[in-house]
Structure 1
Amino acid sequence: MGIAWVFPGQGSQKVGMAEPVLQLPGARERFEQASALLGRDLLAICSGTGGGGDLSDLNDTRNTQPALFVIESLLAEALQAQGRVPHLVAGHSLGELVALHVAGVFDFATGLQLMKSRSTLMAAAGGGAMTAVMGFERSELDDLVAATEGVVVANDNSDAQVVLSGSAEAVAAVSSSLKCKRAIPLAVSGAFHSPFMAAAATAFATELESVAFADAAIPVLSNTDPSPETNAAALKARLVRQMTTGVRWRETMAQFGALGIDVVVEIGPGAVLSGLIKRSCPGSQTAQISSAADLAL
């Protein structure tokens, strides 16, 4: 039986998501470590008491990304402590950094620092917009994107769901022209996974130059190239490209079947990726690990 672990990205966060993992060994220490690095109480932010009193603090990219990294890595490490090892790992957007950590490419402290830098750079980039569209004809979508300057498919999530990213005008033009069931503008600070992130990506690439990557102990499917990879240099190069290119999740899911993956375990809050997999890979089993209680199953 082939098993893959997958790690969700921004959009899976919810107030209270830290509470179910706090009984895991070292959990509070991890949050303290992250809070010291960020200069704000990340655990309080996850609890909705970080200052805004609602989702506003948690939905700030600078908080969302480190919070998900801490929670997802805690859960995955607890699984590994039980002797469980997947055949593949993959992550959606920021989840790719969790996958790299779990595969042994870098340690938690390094991953946390990279997540801080990534989230800060992306939040500062600003400009642009993102819209999720569902229920469309792929050929019509491709034609509209190709004919419209300033818009790209940021997240190719499935045959029936993508996220457009680019200038507000271009994104609105495509989403309004496309015959689709729904088009939902996303509350984000910038046009993530698009050329709008070029300056942020350059700065992140400069930081990555001095970070040592090890070869992965578990093959990783990257957002920019969803083929199994363990080579450290190749994985770093893929991560450099990630901020300005689309998340190829539809192709990642296709790889599960091609590579003999029967069970896909989503590790982190929510079940966004599990839902996509259930609809796109009817032959695969899915499971969710979002709390310490789930580890006892």
Structure 2
Amino acid sequence: MNKTAWVFPGQGSQAVGMGVDLQDLPQAQSKFEIAEKILNYWSVLDVCQGDEETLAQTLYTQPCLYVVESILADLLIERVGLPQLVAGHSLGEYVALYAARVFDFESGLQLVKKRAELMATAEGGKMAALMKFDRTQLNDAIAQNPDVVLANDNSAEQVVISGTPEAVESILAQVKAKRAVTLNVSGAFHSPLMEEASQQFKAVLDSISFADAQVPVLSNVEPIATTNAEELKQRLIAQMTGSVRWREIMLQLPENQITKVIEVGPGKVLTGLIKRTCRDIELHNVSSKADLDQLPQLEISGIS
């Protein structure tokens, strides 16, 4: 039996114009209207049609991605039904949980709004991406420095470190990498430096009811599939200070007999990573209405 997984990208995948082609669809219109009320009356569509600099601000990026990806997920469910597995990268995990019907659209957006606010105001940290690096050397260097962690383990050849500015610079000086890039973020996301923000976020998260997932979810901090509501909530609580273990999530796809993956959302970052990691998995992208309209062809080729 062919099994399909949906994956949802996170911050960094946003693009000006995303979601605009969905605005005339009745299902999308209602979601955009609900979102505007929850977001204190700023418009996701306006921001997505605005300038790149504004869209790239955490405060706007995360709610915009959540809303657009959730609409695409709903439309996809209408066309082909639920997949056999879902996962999301960082912010994308919230959409994965929504798609699996762990919480409703409004609850998810309230969580994302609070998360974005806390992350946008985080200070005193630094993050950097390393490409084609010596993993053993990196692991040893991190083990000897308590002020830096592996924040995003994206693939065998791409990671992000997070910590104090001094600690991050120290690691960059020690570890050989083909390329190292400092990220334009205000805080040390996915590290213990986010503990205070995590505690503030937990107060909001505790107020949201989680249901058992209708399909298994692979979580960032624990890439073992589960449908258990309490497990999924605890994993989400840990996500703000914990590592995004995307490399391990990808390796779990064939372990769960997944033969096809659809990346739901803007860009092709996640399918690019999966292509280089799981070469036998068939990959597709749904980022627009045009992609959705191609679903009959995808169904013929075995997506459904």
Normalising by the smaller structure, the TM-score range is over 0.9
- Residue identity opposite 1:7 in structure 2: F
After TM superposition, which residue ranges in structure 1, 4 or more long, deviate above 6 angstroms? none
Give the residue type in structure 1 aligned to 2:15.
Answer: K
The aligned runs of 1:1-297 (5 Å cut-off) are 1-39=2-40, 40-48=42-50, 54-297=51-294
Indicate the SS of the match to 2:271. helix
Comparing 217-226 and 147-156, the one that deviates more: 147-156
Deviation, 1:21, is 2.5
Q: 1:59 deviation in Å?
A: 1.1
The Cα shift of 1:168 comes to 1.1
Per-residue deviation at 1:206? 1.6
Q: What displacement does 1:137 show?
A: 1.6
1:242 counterpart letter in structure 2: Q
State the secondary structure of the residue aligned to 1:190: coil
Q: How many residue pairs get matched?
A: 292
SS at match of 1:125: coil
Query: Is the 8 Å Cα contact of residues 42 and 67 (structure 1) preserved in structure 2?
Result: yes
| TM-score relative to the length of structure 2 | 0.93
Q: Using the alignment, how far apart are the partners of 1:269 and 1:148 within structure 2?
A: 36
Change (3 A) 1:265 1:83: closer
1:125, distance to aligned residue in structure 2 (A): 2.1
Q: Look up the equivalent residue of 1:193 and give its one-letter code.
A: H
1:24 touches 1:292 (CA, 8 Å); kept in 2? no
Query: Match of 1:150, as an amino acid?
Result: D
What's the offset of the Cα at 1:41?
A: 2.5
Structure-1 residue corresponding to 2:297: none
CA distance in 2, matches of 1:291, 1:179: 39
Task: Write the distance in 2 (CA, Å) between the matches of 1:88 and 1:151.
Answer: 32
Following the alignment from structure 1 to structure 2, what is the Cα–Cα distance between the partners of residues 20 and 90?
A: 25
The answer as to whether partners of 1:195 and 1:245 remain within 8 angstroms in 2 is yes
Q: Secondary structure at the match of 2:227?
A: coil
- Percent of residue pairs bearing the same amino acid type: 52
Determine the C-alpha separation between the residues in 2 that align with 1:135 and 1:87. 32
1:126, 1:55 → 2: CA distance?
23
Answer yes or no: is the 8 Å Cα contact 1:154–1:194 preserved in 2. Answer: yes
* Superposed displacement of residue 18, structure 1: 2.1
1:33: Cα distance to partner? Answer: 2.2
Structure 1 portions without partners, runs of 5+: 49-53
Alpha-carbon shift at residue 286 of structure 1 (Å): 0.8
Aligned-residue Cα RMSD (Å) equals 1.1
5+ long unaligned stretches in structure 2: 295-304
**CA–CA distance in 1 between the matches of 2:73 and 2:170?**
41
